[in-house]
Structure 1
Amino acid sequence: MINAVEIKRLKITTKEQELVNIDFKIEDSTALIGQSGSGKSLTLKTILNLLPSNLNLDFDVDSTFELNSSNIGFIPQNPFTSLSPMTKIKNQFFCEEEKKKELFKIVGLEEKFLERFPSQLSGGQLQRVVIAIALSNDIKLLLLDEPTTALDEKSKQIVLDLIKKLQDELNILILFVTHDINSIRDICKNIVIIKDGTVIEKGKTNEILSLPKTNYTKTLINSTFENKEFRK
């Protein structure tokens, strides 16, 4: 059976207001796009079971596999938040030595970096280390939270190419959360546009980018994303 996860009737509320009310499906490679405050991060935290306890949550999920920490990989914006600064890279994996070397080969890093500390690697190299660690489990779903925001253009392209390679070669689902439509054009086959906690468009990426139905989507597509409103 082909892997898929359907998030149904996801509602996140406080005592005063409704923050998120959406339905969408993660199949193949899916992008969740929206401005800051649109509900992207809350949705991601729901899937990771990391939603703050002061928020009320109600949702159903229909998945072809059990969602748990062993089969979900997570790539944050800042790789430093996932790594212990005082621990060598090789000791931050939970797998055998040969598997570490194999994973480093997959993400395009030299084995010598296993002996280094996080501060001795660049941001782009560290993001690839985090991806390798995520792949050390037999994951079925890879969640990416603005994974290239903190990177320079060269490192950004390397990471994007790597994500595309993983999508092509591994049988895993990808949910790519970002404000930057340009970063997912060649990676995600499906796209979900979210605004103020509500899905306003969803479908095939090439169709929505070619013929967006709402002004909000058109603005996201046409923006150069240099404006703080979209980048913060």
Structure 2
Amino acid sequence: MLKINKLKISSPNKQLVDISFDIKDSSALIGESGSGKSLTLKALLNLLPSSLQVEKDIYSTFELNYDTIGFIPQNPFTSLSMMTKIKDQFFCSNEKKEEVLKLVDLDISLLNKFPSQLSGGQIQRIVIAIALSRNIKLLLLDEPTTALDEENKTNIINLINDLKSRLNILILFVTHDIESIKDICNEIIILKDGQVIEKGFTIDVLSTPKEDYTKKLINSTFKNKQFRN
């Protein structure tokens, strides 16, 4: 479990984020651009600039550090060196490389290729495999399907859902697209202007949203009404 009792982020002139929430299994952090999603992720990764002031009180059942947190960025192409073979972008044994490639349904022959020789979907799977090559307890996903076409988006969502059921890791999935997390995340946290305005079980929030902002996000995402009363 990861329990964020307090996370406050502020600039010299403005309070940017003031939130608290728990991750018991898999949670989605939902909000439009500028809502504070990326700042929250950077705070968990200790990547915020020194110009920002951060107050945090976080409890977890494991130590939060580089080895226990995996991160999947919005654009996988920025995570890899285009001039380096895939096998040299891992920092683990050859046996572990082959193990995690199988986890993400990739052939081990890709280890001898360069990123430019792979498709966007394959590159995203490589980035996920690199994250899984360490003994992570928490996987942070920052809009991981944004740079993908619809087919690859569906495949990556299915992969993440499968990994969630097979591996004993917590998931925090950050996105503005509610549809992408409806089958993955047990709980949803709705963020607006750096504040949590609604949270709860995914099925409850999708079927009976309480806040107008949440209703707007749902209406803008779903083309049908299968999750609405």
User: Would you call these one fold, judging by a TM-score over 0.5?
Assistant: yes
Tell me, in whole angstroms, the C-alpha distance in 2 between the residues paired with 1:100 and 1:11.
38
Q: What pairs with 1:111-190 in structure 2 (closer than 5 Å)? A: 111-190=108-187
Kindly provide the amino acid, as one letter, of the partner of residue 175 in structure 1: L
**Residue number in structure 1 paired with 2:102:** 105
Q: Is residue 71–residue 138 contact of structure 1 (8 Å, CA) maintained in 2?
A: yes
Tell me how large the CA RMSD over aligned residues is. Answer: 1.1
Equivalent pairs counted in the alignment come to 223
**Structure 1 residue 104: deviation in Å?**
0.9
**Residue number in structure 2 paired with 1:14:** 11
SS of the counterpart of 2:46? coil
**Structure 1 residue 181: deviation in Å?**
0.2
The C-alpha deviation readout for 1:53-97, integer Å capped at 9, x for no partner, is 111111100111110000100000111111111110011111111
Tell me, in whole angstroms, the C-alpha distance in 1 between the residues paired with 2:104 and 2:2.
26
The C-alpha deviation readout for 1:118-149, integer Å capped at 9, x for no partner, is 11111111000000000000100000000000
**Residue number in structure 1 paired with 2:226:** none
Identity %: 66
Tell me, in whole angstroms, the C-alpha distance in 2 between the residues paired with 1:124 and 1:94.
22
**Residue number in structure 2 paired with 1:75:** 72
SS of the counterpart of 2:87? helix
Pick aligned residue for 1:223 from 205, 209, 220: 220
What's the TM-score once normalised by structure 1's chain length? 0.94
**Structure 1 residue 225: deviation in Å?**
8.3
Q: Is residue 180–residue 225 contact of structure 1 (8 Å, CA) maintained in 2?
A: no
Alignment of 1:194 with 2:170, yes or no, is no
Q: Is residue 83–residue 118 contact of structure 1 (8 Å, CA) maintained in 2?
A: yes
Kindly provide the amino acid, as one letter, of the partner of residue 142 in structure 1: L
SS of the counterpart of 2:92? coil
The C-alpha deviation readout for 1:18-61, integer Å capped at 9, x for no partner, is 00000011110000000000000000000000011111111100
Kindly provide the amino acid, as one letter, of the partner of residue 82 in structure 1: S
Tell me, in whole angstroms, the C-alpha distance in 1 between the residues paired with 2:22 and 2:119.
34
Tell me, in whole angstroms, the C-alpha distance in 1 between the residues paired with 2:183 and 2:163.
13
Pick aligned residue for 2:83 from 75, 86, 95: 86
Q: What pairs with 1:40-55 in structure 2 (closer than 5 Å)? A: 40-55=37-52
Tell me, in whole angstroms, the C-alpha distance in 1 between the residues paired with 2:39 and 2:221.
25
Which stretch shows the higher mean deviation, 117-126 or 177-186?
117-126
Tell me, in whole angstroms, the C-alpha distance in 2 between the residues paired with 1:9 and 1:140.
21
Tell me, in whole angstroms, the C-alpha distance in 1 between the residues paired with 2:76 and 2:10.
30
- Listed as ranges, the gaps of 5+ residues in structure 1 are 227-232
Q: Is residue 179–residue 221 contact of structure 2 (8 Å, CA) maintained in 1?
A: no
What's the TM-score once normalised by structure 2's chain length? 0.95
> 4+ runs of 1 displaced by more than 6 Å?
none
- Listed as ranges, the gaps of 5+ residues in structure 2 are 224-229
Tell me, in whole angstroms, the C-alpha distance in 2 between the residues paired with 1:81 and 1:185.
27
Kindly provide the amino acid, as one letter, of the partner of residue 180 in structure 1: D
**Structure 1 residue 152: deviation in Å?**
0.3
Tell me, in whole angstroms, the C-alpha distance in 1 between the residues paired with 2:88 and 2:155.
24
Alignment of 1:213 with 2:210, yes or no, is yes
Tell me, in whole angstroms, the C-alpha distance in 2 between the residues paired with 1:30 and 1:163.
13
